[in-house]
Structure 1
Amino acid sequence: MQKNFQYQQQRQYPSYLRQDLKKINQIRANNSGINFKNIPLNNNTIDIIVHHLGVVINQATGNLEYFNHLIPIDTFVISLDNYQATPYGTTPNIIQQTISGQILGTTLQLAYNVQCIDNNYGPNCDLKCTPASINNLHAACISVITGMHHSCKYASNSIKIFDCTPCPYGLTINQTKCNTPNITPIIHVS
């Protein structure tokens, strides 16, 4: 008696898994590592989720449970509360960390940097700056997150800014100082 076995050459995954597999294959193709660019501003954490794509074996019975199954293995969280962004146009400051997973407690060693790009400046990389109208060592900046103006100073190389002061009432005409509020008292005569 001969049995016919059909082997499915190409497995059809649900659409949500096909999208994840495309992303995984794109990451595999990049041998230089994962490169996160243009992440929205002012993130608090980076979440890393590690998945396994393959067979799943039942620990108790040793039986094959799934074939080509995508399951989460561990998750890692990198806090960005106390980072110092490297200014645009300078060599990035590499941060090396070893972190523990939140599901299985596995260990992940990684190296990363936080750097302002696209001519953004400031600790949150949210300031767009131009030289002040009368003094090139002063910078007139505006936050792309809040819209608030800032009065800053350029370092001598015009790459890094420092000494930034938020200006809730905007900048003076020469763009080197903050406007002060008009607090003239109003006197009512009856």
Structure 2
Amino acid sequence: MAKAALYFITGGVRSGKSRFAEQTAQEWAIEQHATLHYLACGRVFDAEMAERVNRHQEDREKSPIPWKTWEFPTDIERIVDGINQDSVVLLDCLTTLVDNELFTQQKPLEAEFLEETFIKIMNGIEEIQRHAACLIIVSNEVIQEPIFHNEFLHTYAKMLGLLHQAIVERADAAYMVEWGIPVMKKGGTPI
């Protein structure tokens, strides 16, 4: 079975990366006559997050193709029971997935647990790729320099950086979105 196309889209907070990812997914789905699936990893923990979730839901409701939304804050491979080779999956976002996998289990951030978490996330991505036509992963850029004094934030940023490298290495295309403008860093035409 062939692996799905893999696109990686990153940028700062409120950079327009999710909007670009949704547009890319819609274009891919229209071109390939595919179904759209939104894999939400975030959890609503405050009013600002609730507002962002509502805005993203409203944006998807305006889509010319309907979206099926899946909410898996951890264990993303669970989506494979609901997708097939005609599915475009948008995972939004890797940063919240890493946060959920690292910090909700109340385990010490020791080397073995960190390695297991890295492998678990990469295995989940590969499992989705085996069952879908296209996987688009959204993430955030995290500034690392000022946070080295905080062990948790340093561990989180390091894990995220390693995941970014591993995913981009495998990706067909990678984009950095700044000020609403996508800048291609790897690959060719998105469709």
Q: TM-score, normalised by structure 1?
A: 0.23
| Structure with the higher helix share, 1 or 2 | 2
Work out which of the two has the higher radius of gyration on C-alpha atoms and give 1 or 2.
Answer: 1
Give the TM-score normalised by the residue count of structure 2.
0.23
Q: By percentage of residues, which structure has more strand?
A: 1
| Larger RCO (alpha carbons 8 Å, 6+ apart) | 2
